[in-house]
Structure 1
Amino acid sequence: MSDTHGKFIWCELMTPDLDATAKFYGSVVGWTTKPMKVDDQPEYIIFEANGVGVAGMMHFPAELEGQGIPPNWTGYVDVDDVDQSARDFAANGGTIRRPPADIPTIGRFAVVADPDGAVLCIMTPLPMENAPPELPSDTPGHIGWHELYANDGAKAFAFYAKLFGWTKDQDFDMGPMGVYHIFAEHGKQTGGMMTRPPEVDMCFWTYYFTVPALDAAIERINAGGGKVVNGPMEVPGAWICQAVDPQGAFFCLSAGER
């Protein structure tokens, strides 16, 4: 495995209203937007933090309408060989939701799901000229944490450790909520996995966007038509909340102070 295999490299939102959504996240997270056009591909918007692209946004695909899938955020993980990694997902109990395909000038990607049905995109990006420097995950506007709700947190960790090379950073005992499995990518603490509580009816990945202070960001969520569904809550080293945007996409915020 290369030193980038298993690294989260992007986060992407599918939403029915690009303009309203851009305004919402611009207010809440501080992102600016820049359109990107690749040949005959659909309209795509880049979210930038301090002039650096950190996430993207596209129209909710028509082929997914009516399937009970809400607007949603999906993470991209760098892999050495997309085609092989997709086969590995399928061979280990996962599924290939969209077969590997090329995105002109960007790279080759596939949409996969783990054995519990939690969806990710995997990608082998093309080499990038003048790549921006990687900033710490607690930099405002950046994706600071990646979290999985699984049917069995320990089994999920074993699956991803095998496919992505992730290692266990530490297990955190949450009492009645079970064990939180904190994982690392090439030695860097990157996210956590847990067994989903009964009130969470599906398995999924979720992403924490870093903001300077949480209470002010929650005010912006409410003012912009979003809704906080959990929090504010203090966790080791941070304050967090979970929310939905005005179009119904679930997201999380993390801040170093309340």
Structure 2
Amino acid sequence: MNWREYQALQRVSELGERFLSYVDEGRGDPVLLLHGIPTWGYLWQGLLPALSGPHRVLVPDLLGFGYSDRRDCFDRSIGRQAELIDAWLGKLGLEHIHVVGHDIGGGVALRLATLFPRRVSRLALLNSVCYDSWPIEGMLQFGHPGAYRRLSATAALRLLKLMLRQGFARSPDDELLEGLLAPYATEVGKLSLIRNASALNTNLTTEVSPLLTRLELPALVLWGENDAFQPVKYGERLARDISGAQLVRVREARHFVMLDRPDEVGGHLLSFLGGAGAEPLPAGAGVP
């Protein structure tokens, strides 16, 4: 599925003065997939067919990202994102949901699980920001307010492609990179992404770090073990702090683990979330 086909699946939900674009596919226990920066819901398109068989899969574009509201002058932090996702789930009438988060989407998932625990039934974290593991240097530079004036949309896109390539075990094709960055190829999209990057705040994960040991829910920590952005040591720490969490290291995978190893990641998630076609996690998965 190319990015235009994926975008055609999106619906729109109003949240006060803002709006959220999202995909809602399948039936069954609801699963929420949260993307990171600088991607959007399209990040998960390869897993949609497998996960939407036994589950209702909801894939929002976070506010300011993808094709959700990108107007200027509002809070895009992961703290505010968690509050908006909680409000949106309430609007959909979903009291409990399985949550899967990647990158800053994992940070949002951690805040949902610790601060809105009634919402989260199961928690899966894929190469997630956590503790003081973030922001990475490239995003700090991109988020400087002056970047909007220094960089054209074309130049910004070129830099983002170079950055993204470091997140793959094998060089991704141009069509995939174009799809992941399509919403940010215009001046409006560029400014919105710069604002998103400027909102990255490590305090919003360190704040909830002491609460991780209090979590009482099934948890999976799934990590591309060669990630240079979010090293696997942070996944190991999460698995120690969240009681009973399973740690699965994915070999030959980097930050975009679901794109490097889609079949393996899909199998692990189905096993963890349950449903038809689920296979057991491999022997040896877990905290050493």
Choose between structure 1 and 2: higher strand proportion: 1
Q: TM-score, normalised by structure 2?
A: 0.30
